[in-house]
Structure 1
């Protein structure tokens, strides 16, 4: 029974020492945060110049949208990986080759 009380006292002493050390570190950290001067915000060194406003141009009103109308006439984007005929002609792919898929064997039912 005496050994248990001695062991309990040692454990309580270690625990209270660790708690006191944690509180001391927290207090010192908060003190360091509050003791530092407030951070300054960057400011422009020269006065800002007003941006020129574009003059409104006389343009035609936008065309009315119609269901099933024509698509835009802008060119379609080029594919990242050209087809075989384009590769033979000398076109290089923009993107690196795709990595192989990582697959695991199927999970067996028990």
Structure 2
């Protein structure tokens, strides 16, 4: 049960970050430092088997987040995008609007 809770909290935080930065202008990217750092650390703590099973969804969520960060001005946004890109193992989505995957509940 604990693993399910950890995966849920990781996914909820990742999705919240994606929504927070989506096409947002005037964002103070310094405020994202801890959020992104904690997500990258949590990713590393996921058991390898679960991480591998979740990786395609992680690639999509973090990939869209990276694309949103890349659209922001400044070196700090670029640096944070690079940090988050370290957990994307597949190809990046084309844009923050690239929702190709059909959800299991649709």
Larger relative contact order (CA 8 Å, sep ≥ 6) = 2
- Hey, which of these two has a bigger chunk of helix by percent? 2
Category of TM-score, reference length = shorter chain: under 0.3
Query: TM-score, normalising length from structure 1?
Result: 0.18
Larger Rg: 1
TM-score, normalised via structure 2 length: 0.18
